Amino acid sequence: MPVTTKKGTIKKLEDYLQSFFNEEKISLLSNYPGLTLHRLRNDIKLHAFLSGVDSEELFEFPYIPHRSNPITLFFEKLKEGVPLEYITGYAYFYRSLFKVTPDVLIPRSETEILVELASLEIQKNYRNKTCRLIDVGTGSGIIALTLMMEDFATLDVVATDISDKALTLAKENFFNLRYTVSAKHNISFLKRDRLEEVEGNFDIILSNPPYIKCLGDLASVHHQVLSYEPAMALFLDDDLYDLWFEDFFRSIHEKLTPEGISLIEGHESHLEDLADMAIKLGFAKVDIIKDYTGRNRFLRFKKQ
């Protein structure tokens, strides 16, 4: 039952949320394609929990919009179009919750396929032996840390990024998730440009690098991604694109163990060209793997 006061009618949070969702639906769906009331309810719950409000009855509480109320801040940022993950400060990836900030890319569900493929490779070939693995451009650390939650092999992991802020956050995620990461694994975080000055060879080289051409691919980038996510995580200069990947693939070839594999996420429009490039650089086997929408999304390289 709504409560009537001198200042008007106070709604329950649930009723406020439903009216908000219906009134703002057009702009919400333009900023958050596919957004549902259910998702919004869950994110408000998470946001409230992280702000110190942990109650099953949250949506039954009377909701009084006020600047000091964390839920009011949530609604304000939602109206501005700030990505939900940056509002709550957390994103789900695979089976865990990772801290995210505007300094790192918001984890994408397709990257879970890359983790799945790497996990299958570890299960198949590294049971009971150490696997040396590198995650190039680790961002929030999702790829490296998710694999470290598995127990099939002992992993010796290196996670690199050129962004200091990303590395700080990846370390924080490692700290937050330390009890879910098997203690037998080992990880070091390094500030490096791709594989430059990274010592030793690797059985598995993984990367979800920046792969959008600044100009050529711009039309396909959602305005919310452009406004809020870090350019460094997303874009490469059109003129330097091929050279960037050529240098990267050359160093992958150099640093991969003879039986090793590399899995690289990429742009659907450029993966075929990049696969040809990899063959020319000497990889014996290069496969293009699709994501769940049927788009070309990953390259898998083998040296032999």
Ligand X SMILES: C[S@@+](CC[C@H](N)C(=O)[O-])C[C@H]1O[C@@H](n2cnc3c(N)ncnc32)[C@H](O)[C@@H]1O
- Smallest gap, in angstroms, from Cβ of residue 194 to ligand X? 5
Q: Rounded distance, CA 139 to CA 41, Å?
A: 27
- Applying CB under 6 A, which part among 39-47, 134-142, 274-282, 286-294 lies near ligand X? 134-142
139 binds ligand X (CB under 6 A): yes
3-state secondary structure of 44: helix
Are the CB atoms for 258 and 266 separated by under 8 Å? no
Of positions 71, 84, 87, 104, contacts ligand X by CB under 6 A: 104
Could you say which DSSP state residue 219 is in?
G
For ligand X, how many residues bind (rule: CB under 6 A)? 22
Are the CB atoms for 295 and 286 separated by under 8 Å? no
Of positions 105, 263, 264, 286, contacts ligand X by CB under 6 A: 105
Are the CB atoms for 167 and 191 separated by under 8 Å? yes
- Smallest gap, in angstroms, from Cβ of residue 155 to ligand X? 16
- Applying CB under 6 A, which part among 205-213, 217-225, 249-257, 269-277 lies near ligand X? 205-213
146 binds ligand X (CB under 6 A): no
Of positions 83, 107, 260, 266, contacts ligand X by CB under 6 A: 107
- Smallest gap, in angstroms, from Cβ of residue 111 to ligand X? 4
136 binds ligand X (CB under 6 A): yes
Are the CB atoms for 240 and 216 separated by under 8 Å? no
266 binds ligand X (CB under 6 A): no
Are the CB atoms for 136 and 205 separated by under 8 Å? yes
- Applying CB under 6 A, which part among 123-131, 145-153, 162-170, 175-183 lies near ligand X? 162-170
Strand-strand pairing, 296-302 and 256-265: antiparallel
3-state helix, strand, coil in the chain (%, to 5): 40, 25, 35
137 binds ligand X (CB under 6 A): yes
φ and ψ at residue 188, rounded to 5 degrees: -125, 145
Q: Rounded distance, CA 139 to CA 170, Å?
A: 6
Query: Which is closer to ligand X, CB of 143 or CB of 263?
Result: 143
Of positions 31, 96, 146, 163, contacts ligand X by CB under 6 A: 163
Query: Which is closer to ligand X, CB of 71 or CB of 158?
Result: 158
- Applying CB under 6 A, which part among 49-57, 67-75, 78-86, 102-110 lies near ligand X? 102-110
- Return left, alpha or beta for 154; rule: phi > 0 is left, psi -120 to 50 is alpha, else beta: beta
194 binds ligand X (CB under 6 A): yes
210 binds ligand X (CB under 6 A): yes
286 binds ligand X (CB under 6 A): no
173 binds ligand X (CB under 6 A): no
Q: Within 10 Å of residue 263's Cβ, how many Cβ atoms?
A: 22
Give residue 120's identity as a one-letter amino acid code.
Answer: L
Is the dihedral angle over the CA atoms 266, 272, 273, 276 positive or is it negative?
Answer: positive
- Residues lying near ligand X in the complex (CB under 6 A) are found at 104-105, 107, 111, 136-139, 142-143, 160-163, 166, 193-194, 208-210, 232-233
